[in-house]
Structure 1
Amino acid sequence: MKIQYKSRNLEISDAMKEYFSKKMAKLERLVNDEDGEVEVRFSKLRQLYTVEVTLKMRSIIVRAEEKTKDFYASVDSAINNLERRLKRFKDRFRTLKREKAGEEATISAEAEGSEKEKIVKVKKFELRPMSVEEAMMQLDLLDHEFFMFRNVEDDQVNVLYRRKDGNYGLIVPR
């Protein structure tokens, strides 16, 4: 697995890289993809260390982010978060595979730790063509976390979302 390191406001030492790769080695048993890529971003803002880990495999992308006052605690939390998400994905994948094969899944809610997630609401609405600025205004008016719209410039469906830092992000299909 290829690991790519990036940093902002922080010098990455060899000890930091070695610590991260040692922690990442325990995830390799969950990841069967030799061609997988890991992108790690280390940053420091004031007294908080942020570790963002993005694992890109053939079929999925898994991301974890942690902020703490200790660099090593941030790495540990991010890796644990990534491991938990990968295990959940593998469990769901196995369950879906069993159901497709005609077998019934016999995993109890107690053994799983939580109830199976399900879609509880479906909302349909018309995608009106609008500019990104109009979508930003609409997002603020609705006070939602994201807003889907048809972009006037390229006539494609875009998703505008509010980031944790208060700015906006735009998801555009290729």
Structure 2
Amino acid sequence: MEFVINGRNLEISDRFREYATEKLDKIEQLGDKVQRVDAKITKELSARMADTSLTVELTVLCRGPVVRAEASAADKFAAFDLAYNKLLERLRRARDRRKIHHGRHTPVAVREATADLEPASTGQPLYLETRADEVEPTAAASAPADAYESPNDLPAGDSPVLIRRKVFSGASMTLDDAVDNMELVGHDFYLFVDSATGAPSVVYRRQAWTYGVITLDAKCAEGTEEPREEVLAYRATEAVASA
């Protein structure tokens, strides 16, 4: 397994490198044949962001989908621990999904899965209470650290507005798998090609633990079909198969 660590606006000390390397065993145990782990540490030079001046981004490249976590703190060790704990949780989630796909089609009963949970507070909506515990990064904040260069890095011309294009492979997958992959990388949206329709689509997180998906349909653009809406159940096919 390859481990790559680099810093932006700061040097990586041997002590921090050793500290991060000691954590790799747990990642390799939870991951599915981990090939590489990338760690990026970015220091924000603005004095107004002293409490979150250090950002650690961890990315695991393995046989399955990419798993990613990011966190910020005033100290790079604290930021690493926060990102590392998020990463382990997402790796466990991916491992549980693999167990179901490999033949264990009997989901855990809701009563059993929620037996140790505290009752939800009735003083405020559940999604507000959840966000108070852990605020997920927005789509812009969760972008890779190298997505933004110096303000002086302007394209040809004198426009102050930058548009940075990144091209990725259009992976074909089901809507359920797209939701899983979005949660594993910690983003608020995820682009994919719907294997059921062959159409480019984007799934995104909504409030109250629900999701939305937008699909581009050439037939609608041509006028041969009308735009439509539908409500789908997550993993409905697996639930029927296990019944």
Residue pair 1:163, 1:169 contacting (<8 A) in 2 also: no
Match of 2:109 in 1: 108
The 3 A distance-change label for structure 1 pair 162 and 105 is: closer
Query: Which structure: greater strand fraction?
Result: 1
Please state if 1:37 is matched with 2:36. yes
Measured in 2, the distance between the counterparts of 1:52 and 1:96 equals: 28
Q: CA deviation at 1:50?
A: 0.5
- Aligned partner (choices 30, 49, 58) of residue 63 of structure 2: 58
Which runs of no fewer than 5 residues in structure 2 stay unpaired?
116-137, 149-161, 170-243
Measured against aligned partners, the alpha-carbon deviations of 1:65-104 in whole angstroms (never above 9, x if no partner) come to 11011211111111111110010011112123225xxxx4
Which runs of no fewer than 5 residues in structure 1 stay unpaired?
115-160
Measured against aligned partners, the alpha-carbon deviations of 1:131-168 in whole angstroms (never above 9, x if no partner) come to xxxxxxxxxxxxxxxxxxxxxxxxxxxxxx95228986
Please give the TM-score of this superposition, normalised by the length of structure 2. Answer: 0.45
- Aligned partner (choices 82, 86, 95) of residue 91 of structure 2: 86
The 3 A distance-change label for structure 1 pair 30 and 163 is: same
Measured in 1, the distance between the counterparts of 2:100 and 2:113 equals: 12
Name the aligned partner's letter for residue 18 of structure 1: E
Q: CA deviation at 1:28?
A: 2.0
Measured in 2, the distance between the counterparts of 1:111 and 1:18 equals: 40
Please give the TM-score of this superposition, normalised by the length of structure 1. Answer: 0.61
Residue pair 1:24, 1:79 contacting (<8 A) in 2 also: no
Residues matched between the structures, number? 123
SS in 2 for 1:107: coil
Measured in 2, the distance between the counterparts of 1:168 and 1:95 equals: 41
SS in 2 for 1:79: helix
RMSD over aligned Cα atoms: 2.8
Q: Which has the higher contact order (CA 8 A, sep 6+)?
A: 2
